Amino acid sequence: MPTATPVAPTIRAPRAAGSAPAAAPPEITVTDPALVKRAVKAAALGNAMEWFDFGVYSYIAVTLGKVFFPSGNPTAQLLSTFGAFAAAFLVRPLGGMVFGPLGDRVGRQKILAFTMIMMAAGTFAIGLIPSYATIGVGAPILLLAARLVQGFSTGGEYAGATTFIAEYAPDKKRGFFGSWLEFGTLAGYIGGAGLVTLMTALLSDDALLSWGWRVPFLIAGPMGIIGLYLRMRLEETPAFAAEVEKAEKSRPKVRLREMVAGQWRALLLCMGLVLVFNVTDYMLLSYMPSYLTSELKYDETHGLLVVLGVMVLMMVVQPFAGALTDRIGRRPLIFAGCAGFLALSVPALLLIRQGSLLAVALGMAALGLLLVCFTAAMPAALPALFPTKVRYGSLSIGFNISVSMFGGTTPLVVTALIGATGNMMMPAYYMMAAAVIGGVAVWFMSESAGRPLPGSAPSVEPADR
């Protein structure tokens, strides 16, 4: 059974006789280490499941194009597949506007449990859809419908998961604990991509086209049940419980206008940070496998193995980089990532374009280590932009609008740009443009490392009490 919310009583400093009473200090939340770890695991597993699907979809995109769309131009099939991928991001803001305010009203845990169910159902459904050869145009329509369910549910997933971890973690270790959310992202990607790589190596093309592609999507069913079980065992975060108590035992009432108009500056900063984070993320982890195969004619299995190796490297570095943000701050690491992408995107892509295994590995590793600057810092930096009362809702709206407009459309836009211009360096230029916007956002954001979340009491570990 979950333990009670660990909120310590108010601690007051002693005063000398005859002196004026001091102002009452804020209450201090003393975290339960075991409960924090459970919260991190539950949130990270949901993120892993989401990105397991994205990894599978991206790495098997060429096969999905043949299964769900008419035969003909391979580039047109790939564009259609990425179009369905991007379509899910168009409904993410709608999901954010529904689930975000609900998360601020009825609680983070309940909404995260519901989004887990929806994500698992949407992914599982893809594995059951008949091919274009079987039912014709109904196949891509059903694929699009399943992707829209996934996108709608994801609109409340990432913002809720970052909020959940941030509100459970002690102030001095929020970066470290938050970094495990993206550790789950990478684990999901590796699981999905590794499974696709294994199946590509073991199965014939005919077997992969007829039934093999379904297996990764069907795995989402049991994964969703496990994730739901973990999330249902948790209670609400101390910050949300305190907000409910301030609202006199009723659920906090927050209007959508308050989440947007009342937080316009924080929303703009959020969108700028999310833009550079997600453009580079989707470029490296979603688009580059198809870029290596379709545009550079690189061996499919070798290309997948290189990207898998880069993700393993990122996973190893991720917790250490998260802990580093607790020591030096979120801003320096995010700014370093922006500067790195601005300076090294072109050299890294030129290395990749050389085609040799060593060159591709070095170029991808350079981009992966730069991406860690974002994956390690953002889960702690983004929730700190908003006060507790509107954190889930405002973050959901800002995050999903930016992801929908820029992040999730990255594979489609870059593929179209290369097709229109013939310039194979478009991925580098796109990342450089995103880095400039991200750098501007970092310049204007405030440092949040080691400080309480806005609207919340200081959160400490038992040893620091």
Q: Quickly list DSSP for 390-433.
A: GHHHHHHHHHHHHIIIIITTHHHHHHHHHHHH--TTHHHHHHHH
Using CA atoms, how far residue 208 sits from 72, 144, 211, 290, 397, in Å, is: 19, 21, 6, 17, 38
Number of H helices, E strands in the chain: 22, 2
Amino acid letter for position 315:
M
**Burial annotation 247-282 (CB, 10 A radius, 16+ → b, else e):** eeeeebebeeebbbebbeebbbbbbbbbbbbbbbbb
CA distance 100 to 80: 30
Please tell me what DSSP assigns to residue 22: P
Please tell me what DSSP assigns to residue 130: P
Please tell me what DSSP assigns to residue 355: -
CA distance 15 to 199: 70
CA distance 435 to 338: 5
- Which H or E run includes 450? none
Residue of 192, 227, 235, 211 lying closest to 119 (CA atoms):
227
Predicted TM-score (pTM) of the model is 0.83
Residue of 14, 33, 41 lying closest to 460 (CA atoms):
33
Superfamily classification of domain 31-455? MFS general substrate transporter like domains (1.20.1250.20)
pLDDT, tens digit only, all 465 positions of the chain: 333 334 433 333 333 334 444 343 457 878 778 888 888 888 888 788 777 877 787 677 778 877 887 776 676 666 677 677 667 778 888 888 888 888 888 888 888 888 888 888 888 888 898 988 888 888 888 888 888 888 888 888 888 889 989 998 999 999 999 999 999 988 988 888 788 878 888 888 888 888 888 888 888 778 878 878 878 877 788 888 777 777 665 555 666 677 677 788 999 999 999 999 999 998 987 788 778 877 777 766 677 778 888 989 999 999 999 999 999 999 999 999 999 999 999 999 999 988 788 888 899 999 999 999 999 999 999 999 999 888 988 999 999 889 888 887 888 888 888 888 988 899 999 999 999 999 999 999 999 998 999 888 888 878 666
Residue of 306, 414, 424, 411 lying closest to 360 (CA atoms):
306
